[in-house]
Chain A
Amino acid sequence: MASSDLSSPNLSATGKPSFRLGSIWLAVPGVAFLLIFFLWPTVHILVSAVWGDDGRFSSKALFSVFTSSSYSRVMATTFTVAVQVTVLCVLISYPLAYWLSRHSARRQRLLMMLILLPFWTSALVKNFAWLVLLGRNSNFAQFVTSMGGAGDRLLFNRTVVLFGIVHTLVPLCVIAMMPTFNQVNKSLLSAATTLGASPTQAFWRIFLPLSMRGVATAGLMIFVTSLGFFITPSLLGSPRETMVGQLIIEQINELQNLQQGSAFGVVLLVGAIIGVILFDRIFGLSGVAGGSGNSQPDDRVRRFGLWLCSRIGNMLDPVARGYRDTFRGLPGSRLLGAYSLLVIALLLVPVVAIIPMAFTSGSFLAFPPPGFSLRWFETYFASPIWMAATARSFGIGLACAALTIVVAATVAFAVVRSRSRLAGAIFIFFMSPMIVPHLVISIGLFYLFAQMSLIATDIGLVLGHSVIATPVVFIVVLSTLRGHDWRLDDAALTLGATPRRAFFRVTLPLISGGIAAGLITAFLISFEELTIALFIGGGLVTTLPKQLWSDIFLQINPTLAAASVVVLGVVTVLFLLMEVISYWRKPA
């Protein structure tokens, strides 16, 4: 995922893909999969939001989203929080990503592990850890109280909800920014300084505009994800911080009001699409990044962006000079490094803190724990409920990985190898689940699976997780295939290999790293997935995250921490495995 390029619509592979009759046909099963399990249910939601149970048109549900004061307050909270989270994430992540991009590839790889670990740690585990770390009796709360602050009111307010969501999403934001940041040719900055630009000017006028595409991609992903966020407001928020995701869960899982749930889903979807359009307009193809073939020299947004960048550059230049002259011992790069390490440390806090909590000897969750014992792990391993959930999560994860890799790899292969114009459309179609909040996909699948009697079945969960995992795995495999030198296959053919043998002897060994990364990615996504599990599991078939989620509301005890540590352990091992594999595959 780290090495994938989310923003490049360029479909031609390295070298000229030689025409293969019918490469595009390889995409048919994958496209059919997404048509049935993604597009159809999503469209269905749009329709059912205005179609009552009696089969008549009714705009009442949709209307009530805006007219009911309680609903409209939730909508306002949701969109405000989403915008605030997006802005905060981008502002916090940008300097960190910039700092990372200035390291050598080797160092960057190591440092990225520290971002990827919290990235792959599930939001549930992280937010659960904060619940304990910031709780009324926590050391931190006592510290705040001793400093004269309101230590007993750290939780259940807007600030902590924002903090929790931002903390959860900063790793995603950094990861989404990195490909673009790394693509910016560093010699352009040297060129700018030889032309008379100070480092400040070079950053604002050259690096910042060129990095905007990464900012847009990251911001968009953060906005869409945070729109449907429900874990943090449920765990860390008060009723005043209720977000629309919680309402949807309530409407569908508890009140069985499908139409009202869909109506919320539609608003989420429309909000996400408006977000996409705005982002595209401001930062995207026509934006300041330019140079991609779509930019117009006289485009107003572009001119304004460049004007703004140069103004800020001019304004900050004397400030930076003043700073440099005043604080000679503390160069700005040192400050940036300190800031970045601080953010990374903060990202790791809940991931690291959950481990001692699980080994507590006490009966309550506390940090630091009063003593060491394995009793909660014993409870976990002795519980048939937890064991069943764990086994199911593994099984579903493996099945999801197998299904997803087939769907994603065949389509990626078709897109890379075909010259058909359809390839571009398929690419966009396969990326589109990214801009649909998972909640919307979940409700849609809930409808569909209800008709297919797949609710509360393992197959339903596998299918649902695969829909969510497909775009990510697609990107992973696609970037591998684009990096593959297809002339090697031609060489194998001229050396007498049949296409089949060329594939198995040359292509497959070379792309196997990407395939493995795709498999692990799919497994990890499934292993930590909560939204789909919440709807499709139907309360009967529970996965590990679903069991964690239910228990947090029933009874908070250290078994949860033990289960979280198990999840964390599995995730860490797999993610390290992925790193090792990609390290092997990388030519030195």
Chain B
Amino acid sequence: MDSLTPTASTKSYANDAVKLHAQGICKFYDATAALNPIELKILAGELLTLLGPSGSGKTTLLQLIAGLVKPTSGRLMIDGRDQTDLEPYKRDIGVVFQNYSLFPHLTVQENIAFPLQMRGQSDRVSATQVSNALEMVGLERFGKRFPHELSGGQQQRVALARCLVYKPSLILMDESLSALDRKLREAMQVEIKRIHRETSSTIIFVTHDQEEALALSDRICLMNNGAIEQLGTPLELYDKPKTVFAATFIGTSNVVSGQLANAAQISSDISERLIDIGGDCKKVALGQPCSIAIRPENVRIGDCGAGILNGTIIEEIYAGSETRMMVELPNGSVFTVRVPGGAQRCQLGENVSLTWDPQHVRILES
């Protein structure tokens, strides 16, 4: 869970040129929306993640960008040119597919040479580029193998090499790491970050794995129900979630719903007292229902009666670098608290109090 704590993205772009601009693009199958009209600008050189659960429209958006699916309406601008109706093979795009889509009848070398042949490269030039690409992913000795003779991780790297070899300025990755086991996936994440730095290409990465999104991205585009839920840096999404969905899909949040009682407090049914909210509450009108979120690592456990809320410890989950406590509140809802380290300071069934700094409270749109 270490990667849950994001590091601030301090990367700056040489120029904030827009690489891709989706203008009201959408896709309907009969009457059902796979993707509602969205506005999205992706900057040149950034690594943007499309994050969301299955059915959120992220893969549809990727396929629209690749040109594999025709949009119902809307325009797609790439490098300032309208490429909505351009065939996929005429776009300067590389796609790494979820199942790798390596051609089973071609060797690793031939697979990687394929895009070069399609671009009319001479065999000699392409041979050098192929071996460079193989070197980049560390598969120099596997050029003459067939895909089925490689492990999943190796196939993944071949797919990456086949995409990188022709230096597309925009790379799309569709759940590219989801078939790998955890260790391999983390190694590949480092690899992708390195390659992204070295090639300065724009990468759009589709995933349903929030840890992966936090670890990789310059920016995350969180999607839900065929629409963009929130767009921002990993830090923004983690620290300032705007919606209940964002607060719960990325990391864990304790969400409390209630009404705004006054400019700095809300009333809720988990406590008789009003709860202080440190952040700005301008987006919600007085008396309106709203929700607040508090991250488990910002909640502290104290002696009974001394805190904001009182509850009973019902479960304790040890996770190595931390311990998670589940605290049941009088109204039956459960708060998660994260305690660093494995120090056992509490017993199951013990009554405790929960406190937090009001500035860690986030107000969510409901």
Q: Which residue of A lies closest to B104 (CB)?
A: A291
Within 8 A of A (CB), among B312-358: none
Q: Does A290 contact B (CB under 8 A)?
A: yes
- Whether A197 pairs with B114 at a CB distance below 8 angstroms is yes
Chain A residues positioned under 8 Å from B97 (CB to CB): 187, 190-191
Specify which of A194, A288, A289 lies most central, judged by the most chain B CB atoms within 10 Å of its CB: A194
* A188 close to chain B: CB less than 8 A: yes
Chain B residues, Cβ within 8 Å of A293: 148
Over the window 146-178 of chain B, the binary record of Cβ atoms lying under 8 Å from chain A Cβ atoms (1 yes, 0 no) is 111000000000000011001000001000000
Binary CB contact string for chain A from 482 to 506 against chain B (1 if under 8 A, 0 otherwise): 0000000000000000000000000
Given the known A-B contacts A187-B101, A210-B104, A293-B148, are A194 and B114 also in contact in the complex, defined by CB atoms under 8 Å?
A: no
B89 contacts A194, C-beta separation under 8 Å: yes
B117 touching A310 by the CB < 8 A rule? yes
Smallest CB separation, A206 vs chain B (Å): 6
Known: A193-B88, A197-B118, A291-B148. A187 touches B99 (CB 8 A): yes
Chain B residues whose CB sits within 8 angstroms of the CB of A185 once the complex forms:
101
Question: Do residues B147 and A291 form an inter-chain contact, with CB atoms below 8 A?
Answer: yes
Chain A positions 180-200 with a Cβ under 8 Å from a chain B Cβ: 185, 187-188, 190-198
Contact for A297 among B68, B89, B146, CB less than 8 A:
B146
Q: List residues of chain B with CB within 8 A of the CB of A194.
A: 66-68, 88-89, 91, 93-95, 172
For A288, the chain B residues whose CB sits under 8 A away are: 105
Q: Which residues of A contact B66 (CB under 8 A)?
A: 194
User: Which residues of A sit under 8 angstroms from B87, Cβ to Cβ?
Assistant: 193, 198
B189 to chain A, nearest CB (A): 22
Query: How far, in Å, is B338 (CB) from chain A's closest CB?
Result: 40
A196 touches B115 (CB 8 A): yes
Number of interface residues of A (CB under 8 A): 27
Indicate if the CB atoms of A193 and B117 lie closer than 8 Å. no
Q: B95 to A191, Cβ gap below 8 A?
A: yes
In A187-238, the 8 Å CB interface with B consists of 187-188, 190-198, 201, 205-206, 209-210
Q: In chain B, what residue has the closest Cβ to A309?
A: B105
Q: How many residues of B contact A (CB 8 A)?
A: 33
Chain B positions 106 through 123: 1 when the CB is less than 8 Å from some CB of chain A, otherwise 0:
110010001101110000
Question: Which residues of B are found within 8 Å of A310, using beta-carbon distances?
Answer: 117
| Closest A residue, CB atoms, query B149 | A293
B residues 81-104 with Cβ under 8 Å of A?
Answer: 87-89, 91, 93-95, 97, 99, 101, 103-104
Question: Known interface pairs A195-B118, A291-B146. Does A210 touch B95 (Cβ–Cβ under 8 Å)?
Answer: no
Q: How far is the CB of A325 from chain B (nearest CB, A)?
A: 13
Chain A contacts of B115 at CB under 8 A? Answer: 195-196
A213's closest neighbor in chain B, by CB?
B105
Chain B, Cβ-Cβ closest to A198: B89
The reply to whether A195 and B114 contact each other, CB–CB distance below 8 Å, is: yes
Q: Which residues on A sit within 8 Å (CB–CB) of B67?
A: 193-194
Question: Are the CB atoms of B104 and A290 closer together than 8 Å?
Answer: yes
With a cutoff of 8 Å between Cβ atoms, the chain A residues found around residue B104 in the complex are 188, 210, 290-291
Chain B neighbourhood of A295, CB < 8 A: 105, 146
* CB of A342, distance to nearest CB on chain B (Å): 29
Closest B-chain residue to A184, C-beta based? B104
Instruction: Identify which of A188, A289, A291 gathers the most chain B CB atoms within 10 Å of its CB.
Output: A291
User: A209 is contacted by which of B89, B95, B105, B119 (Cβ under 8 Å)?
Assistant: B105
Question: Would B101 and A201 count as touching, CB distance under 8 A?
Answer: no
Given contacts A197-B114, A295-B146, A297-B146, contact A210 B105 (CB under 8 A): yes
Flag whether B144 is at the interface (Cβ < 8 A). Answer: yes
Q: Are B105 and A201 in contact (CB under 8 A)?
A: no
Tell whether, in the assembled complex, residue B68 and residue A193 are in contact, meaning their CB atoms are under 8 Å apart. yes
Q: Are B147 and A196 in contact (CB under 8 A)?
A: no
Please indicate which of the listed interface residues A190, A197, A198 has the most CB atoms of chain B within 10 Å of its own CB: A190
Distance of A293 Cα from B104 Cα, bound (Å): 10
Contacts of A190 in B (CB 8 A): 68, 88, 97, 101
Contacting residue for B101 out of A188, A196, A290, A298, CB 8 A: A188
Q: Mark A155-189, 1 if CB is under 8 A from B, else 0.
A: 00000000000000000000000000000010110
Known contacts A190-B68, A297-B144, A196 near B103 by CB under 8 Å? no
The residue in chain B whose Cβ has the minimal distance to the Cβ of A324 is B87
Chain A residues in the interface with B (C-beta under 8 A): 185, 187-188, 190-198, 201, 205-206, 209-210, 288-291, 293, 295, 297-298, 306, 310
* Further 10 A-B residue pairs, CB within 8 A, beyond A193-B68, A209-B105: A187-B101, A191-B97, A194-B68, A194-B88, A205-B114, A290-B146, A291-B104, A291-B105, A291-B147, A291-B148
What are the 5 A-B residue pairs with the smallest beta carbon separation, nearest first?
Answer: A291-B104, A191-B101, A196-B118, A290-B105, A195-B115
Provide a sorted-by-A list of 30 A–B residue pairs whose CB atoms are within 8 angstroms: A187-B97, A187-B101, A190-B68, A190-B97, A190-B101, A191-B97, A191-B101, A192-B103, A192-B114, A194-B68, A194-B94, A194-B172, A195-B89, A195-B94, A195-B163, A195-B166, A196-B89, A196-B118, A198-B87, A205-B114, A206-B103, A289-B105, A290-B106, A291-B104, A291-B105, A291-B146, A293-B148, A295-B146, A297-B145, A306-B110
